[in-house]
Amino acid sequence: MRPGRIGIPADDVRPLRPPAHTTQTETPLNTTLASDTTRIRRVAAVLLAVYAVAVIVVVAWPTPVDAGSHAWLSGVLKSLHSRHLLMFLSYPLIEFTSNVIMFVPLGLLVGVLFGRRRWAWAIALGCGVSALIELLQFLLLPGRFGTIDDVIANTLGALIGALIARSILAWRIRRALHP
């Protein structure tokens, strides 16, 4: 049946295939995903710039950022341990976890920027940035300590962030394909 006959309005018929003037990749679904992806990547780029400034401030601070809270946190841990609470929790574990958490946003944002196929580069970038930070702290900031443990923790954080990015990107594709 042709549109406009037997009660089928012409504007109610949707083509089964994309119009002849479009390529296979220009379907409405792909166009929507592409524009959403562009918007998400722009937001990720802005957030990455803000994050980078914050990290630079933290890592370039002449003294360790936890210097003022070290005594307080040690007291809290001692109090908890005296009550046999959270016995596994130690200051080095808190410091390691803080370093992991600090690099999760890097892995996440770079993973989103690089996309589904190159998300693993976020891990390499996290490791490289961390190694550079630790080297600069070791060479240029006498009050700071550059350690391999920090590089490992930061790389782990970038890995976690990149895996989150990969999961989000895969979920978006699945959701678009199967609404």
pTM: 0.76
Q: Is residue 160 part of a domain?
A: yes
Chain centroid to Cα 139, Å, comes to 29
Q: Is residue 80 part of a domain?
A: yes
Average pLDDT over residues 122-142: 95
State the residue range of the domain holding 167: 27-177
In this prediction, residue 151 has a pLDDT band, given cuts at 50, 70 and 90, of: very high
CA–CA gap between residue 103 and residue 125 (Å, rounded): 11
Q: Is residue 48 part of a domain?
A: yes
Q: Is residue 92 part of a domain?
A: yes
Number of domains present in the structure of the chain: 1
Tens-place pLDDT, residues 90-110: 999 999 999 999 999 999 999
The reported pLDDT for the residue numbered 24 is 52
CA–CA gap between residue 10 and residue 5 (Å, rounded): 8
157 class by beta-carbon count within 10 Å (0-12 exposed, 13-18 middle, 19+ buried):
buried
- Dihedral over Cα of 74, 148, 145, 131: its sign: negative
